[in-house]
Amino acid sequence: MLNYDEALEYIHGLNKFGTKLGLDNITRLLEILGNPHHGMRIIHVAGTNGKGSTCAMIDSILRAAGYKVGLYTSPYLEVFNERIRVNGKNIPDKAIARLTQKVRDAISIMQQKNLGHPTEFEVVTAIGFLYFKEQAVDFIVLEVGMGGRLDATNVAMPLVSVITPISFDHQKYLGNTLADISREKCGIIKKGVPVVSGPQEKEALRVIEETCARRGCILKRVLDRCENRENIDFICYNPLRDSLNGQVFDVDTPKNHYSNLKIRLLGSHQLDNAATVVGAIEALELSGIKISRDAIYSGLENARWPGRLEILRENPTVLIDGAHNIAGIRTLKEAILKYFPQKKKILVLGILKDKDYNDMIEEIVPLADAVITTAPDNPRALSAEELAETIRESRIIHEDKNIEVYVRNEIKDALTLSLEIATPGDLIVFAGSLYMIGRVRTIASDLR
């Protein structure tokens, strides 16, 4: 029997099988394991940005309504166990060890029958389904790993399919146009299953609408503002108050008006996500599941999603954000300008080399008074020196202003330097990769 450390070593060792999109391996694996996902009540969430916080809000509302809820997300920030949770608690170490052994035994059967070998993500997905089945959860809130159509989570038959805003990311696997990427995301849309979509670009929206029409699905869309209530087919919201303590807003749906909803998550994009969540919760009524207004209010207010516009400390303010693509960086930029317009800004960047880091640099670096480059804890990391050299060679340094650029290969050293050069009134921002900010969160735990 594996212990916890051996289980994680086995799981992470599967990255040698790379990323293989497709449902054959996960389907065979789950069949051997008894199809633990069958009969489960699932809310399936795809999209490019906002999936995690959307899942966290749905999870919080369902728990506020008294249900036992399994939450499956990726990647993790600090510990692997975060990826599989029940009622807000991480899967225990012993359960990971035991279920990994069970999955490994099932894989041995697959190999004996020449049925292929699952990837790391497929194995973790199987472990998640097994644990949720054992725990007899009432609902699973299931986040897509990548894309949708060929993602391992797409073996699920959900009660509701949710699509957060779609933008460019993982083009190597999903396609180079927004339409191509949207078609992959729309792969989670099942025949007759209601769909709730966050605000979308026209190209993405067209694909979503066409897919829903072809598969006979009710589609509820979120608009960013309630400017035309004559059209009752839409979900919309109106911002009321916004500060570092959170946001207050109204939401209108085809059925209800919610006044003075509150979330503690920062950034105007979270209002898009919150309105999408309200729509998803209401869509459960089509399956005979009625969630009270009180649960919606308390669930939204109590929802947490670490690592996204999260303030770790003040004086100086240390902000971490998992912005890892151009859309996420633009959202971060908007938030910095809104919440911290007058502060001197020290930017600590760590980016994976398969991201559009040139565009990310062009967008975010001009806000900074100083930049520290480092490298995320990931084999795909862009080196700190290469990132710094890219910044130094960019037009930003030569045309806009003279920004000091420092290099620290280790994340801990980058954090130490940022605190050394900052004054109490400054803002330190860590961004570029979830694999970096998770590490920052761990080593800065004594700051919280």
How many Cα atoms sit within 13 Å of 312 on the Cβ side?
A: 24
Give residue 191's pLDDT. Answer: 97
- Would you state the CATH architecture of domain 310-447? Alpha-Beta Complex (3.90)
> Tokens for 206?
């067209």
Q: What are the pLDDT digits (tens) for 16-72?
A: 665 666 799 999 999 999 999 999 999 999 999 899 999 999 999 999 999 999 999
Confidence at 235, pLDDT banded by 50, 70, 90: very high
CB-based contact 329:360 (threshold 8 Å): yes
Q: What is the pLDDT of residues 410-425, one digit of tens each?
A: 999 999 999 999 999 9
Instruction: Tell me the per-residue pLDDT of 309-359, one tens digit each, with 9 for 90 and over.
Output: 999 999 999 999 988 889 889 999 999 999 999 999 999 999 998 888 889
CA distance 130 to 135: 9
Largest CA distance in the chain: 64
**Beta strands, E only, 216-269:** 219-222, 234-243, 246-252, 257-263
Structure tokens at 61: 């509302």
Q: Is the pLDDT of residue 372 over 60?
A: yes
Domains 4-302 and 310-447 share a fold: no
Residue type, 385: E
CATH class belonging to 4-302 = alpha beta
- Do residues 317 and 279 make contact, with C-beta atoms less than 8 angstroms apart? no
pTM: 0.92
Break the chain into its structural domains and give their ranges.
4-302, 310-447
Q: Cis omega (within 30 of 0) on the bond before 316?
A: yes
Place of tokens 């699952």: 118
Q: Which residues neighbour 293 within 8 Å (Cβ) at sequence distance 6 or greater?
A: 256, 258
Query: Which of 301, 297, 238 has its CA nearest to residue 265?
Result: 301
**Lowest-pLDDT range, 98-102, 239-243, 398-402?**
398-402
Written as six digits, the tokens of 45 are 């969430």
Residue type, 193: V
